[in-house]
Amino acid sequence: MSESAPEPVPPAPDSDPSAPAPLAVPRTPTGDAGVDARLARLADADHLPTDGHLGVYEDVHRGLRDALDALDARPDPPAPAPR
């Protein structure tokens, strides 16, 4: 009786190490709708292969930078009146 070597079993689709996998990084809401929308966009990277992450990260970074620039462009609030 000869024993044959077991045939390799292909990994299940869910366990393919090269497949995109969610990082499950928690994102705490900031209270600013524009910033929260940009941060939510980071979840798009969970469904992309690694080489697609850069575009998402650059887009989010650009949006957050624009939000900060907009804060700098706002006029200062009026100074309180002297008493």
In a domain, 51, yes or no: yes
pLDDT of residue 16: 75
pTM: 0.62
Q: CA 60, CA 31: separation in Å to the nearest integer? A: 17
In the structure encoding, which two tokens stand for residue 25, read together? 């990084």
In a domain, 63, yes or no: yes
Q: pLDDT class for 22, splitting at 50, 70, 90?
A: confident
69, 50, 49: which is closest to 61 by C-alpha?
Answer: 69
Q: CA 46, CA 61: separation in Å to the nearest integer? A: 17
In a domain, 35, yes or no: yes
Please say if the pLDDT value at position 57 is more than 80.
yes
In the structure encoding, which two tokens stand for residue 76, read together? 């200062």
In a domain, 11, yes or no: no
Q: pLDDT class for 17, splitting at 50, 70, 90?
A: confident
Q: Which domain holds residue 41?
A: 30-73
